[in-house]
Structure 1
Amino acid sequence: MREVIGRYRGSVMGLLWSFFNPILMLAVYTFVFSYVFNARWSGGDGSKTEFALVLFAGLMVFNMFAECCNRAPLLITGNVGYVKKVVFPLEILPIISLGSSLFHLLVSFVVWLVFYAVFVGIPSPTVALLPVAVLPLILMTLGFSWMLASLGVYLRDVAQVIGVVTLVLMYLSPIFYPISVMPEQYRPFMNISPLTSTVEQVRDILMWGRGLDWSTWLISMVVGLLVAWLGFVWFQKTRRGFADVL
């Protein structure tokens, strides 16, 4: 709660910014890609409203991932007092950051629901599968956050590098375009992105009313659990040197 409220403390609009930011982002991206580049999404009616909703469905997943990863390298260095002055379970700092990102994901989902209800109609019951669809990515994000939080103590350049990496992942994931428009020989590279599977699954349940591809979800879940476990082990192994470095 402090993490979420503290971000907007002192601002005139307060928590309303958490609603305003995704709406503004949706408007900008929709204008650039739908009006300027005249992009359309295959498999739908080709309207700009549909494009905006499809785009936003992918963006809200990406933003959750990017927010956690971009903040992770500074979690320990920004809380030196927790390392040197008090006995504190440092491993919960990435969890707190993830919780804040999930709050903003929830807000973005509410915005998406409102726009869908107004411009399209009642969404499919499959939207209830959203928490299940994003669970593998949540686990992967937590694992990456533990790794990056630790690396950020020893390698201060990580904070700059991860910003570039997340930007590259945004354009190499099917957020602004479907996988089908990518040439066949380059599609395996898109599947390397941890976002690809989740973004595609979220679009299926939100926009097209399809159920989850459980075989793909299970593979992603196993990978997510593995990444989370490795990240936690790495964090616990390296935390012993935090106080000396800081």
Structure 2
Amino acid sequence: MYKGLKRLRWQQFDLLFQLIRRDISARYRGSLMGGLWAIVSPLVMLLVYTFVFGVVFQARWGAGGGQGNSGFALNLFAGMLVHGLIAECLSRSPALIVQHSSYVKRVVFPLWILPLVVVGGALFQTAIGFGVLLAAMLLLGQLPHWELLALPLLLLPLLLLAVGLGWLLSALGAYVRDIGHLMPMIITVLMFLSPVFYSVEAIPEAYRSWMYLNPLTPAIEAMRALLFGGDLPSVKGYLTYLGATALFAAATCWIFNRLRRGFSDVL
């Protein structure tokens, strides 16, 4: 029995990997440049941010990220990468069950994998973006700190948050189709209420505590501190954030499993 369960788990992981690979390849299927778009797109955006904010507006970030024209763009790009990972999960998750309604009829298909496929595809895009960001830092003479090895640990709470949002929105989206129409507005509001275009220090002190109610705030701030200053988050702060996102993911997994019983009735 143990061997059977072990083989079942391996089959599910293999299924997840194959679905993520198919999802990534489907993005660029039929295009002339193919997978090169995964590199070209973030590279173009970084160049645009550098020109607009660094040259046109002469914006300065302050500490971290460099003091030249590119400093603001690097900090902005780092924040956009974190926001972009969550934004893709928010935009795609509500329609997941509806788009894969044929899977609902299959009792043996693990529906809980579908949100993980979205997160895996978003993580792939984010990894390419981080590669472009690190290459830009090297070109600008900013050598990466050895603490950068802790980047996967910093991404772990963010991934748990993304998975939890995927389970919650995909389950609710099967019942309430309006959720999908709300997402573009929510993504935009989230971008401006997160420290993407600014640092937390730029906000009046009276409002800073409210900023940390946004789950993206600690992720963005920790990412910038690690990338540009080599500063690791406090153990207490990291474990608190990790525990909160893990509880959120566990709660939304339970909600997903409860609501999935009625998927076939509403599709």
- Check whether TM > 0.5: yes
Aligned match of 1:21: 41
TM-score by length of 1: 0.95
Q: Which amino acid aligns with 2:239?
A: L
Q: 2:223 aligns with which of 177, 194, 202?
A: 202
Give the conservation status (yes or no) of the 8 Å contact 1:74–1:152.
yes
Aligned match of 2:254: 233
Aligned match of 1:179: 200
| CA displacement, residues 16-68 of structure 1 (integer Å, 9 cap, x when unaligned) | 11111111222333334334443211214421222222221111111111111
Give the conservation status (yes or no) of the 8 Å contact 1:76–1:152.
yes
Calculate the aligned-residue CA RMSD, in Å: 1.4
In the alignment of these two chains, the number of paired residues is: 246
**1:212 aligns to 2:236 (yes or no):** no
C-alpha distance in 2, partners of 1:62/1:24? 18
C-alpha distance in 2, partners of 1:165/1:37? 27
* Structure of higher CA gyration radius: 2
Q: Which amino acid aligns with 1:73?
A: P
Q: 2:29 aligns with which of 9, 26, 34?
A: 9
| CA displacement, residues 161-219 of structure 1 (integer Å, 9 cap, x when unaligned) | 12211211111111111111111222122111111001111111111111222221111
Q: Which amino acid aligns with 2:47?
A: A
Aligned match of 2:88: 67
Give the conservation status (yes or no) of the 8 Å contact 1:60–1:109.
yes
In the TM superposition, 1:132-151 aligns within 5 A as 132-151=153-172
Gaps of 5+ in 2: 1-20
Give the drift of 1:234: 0.5
C-alpha distance in 1, partners of 2:102/2:38? 29
C-alpha distance in 2, partners of 1:193/1:10? 38
Q: Which amino acid aligns with 2:190?
A: L
Give the conservation status (yes or no) of the 8 Å contact 2:157–2:245.
yes
Aligned match of 1:81: 102
TM-score by length of 2: 0.88
Give the conservation status (yes or no) of the 8 Å contact 2:54–2:71.
no
| CA displacement, residues 70-114 of structure 1 (integer Å, 9 cap, x when unaligned) | 110011111111112563111000011111111111111111111
Q: Which amino acid aligns with 1:51?
A: F
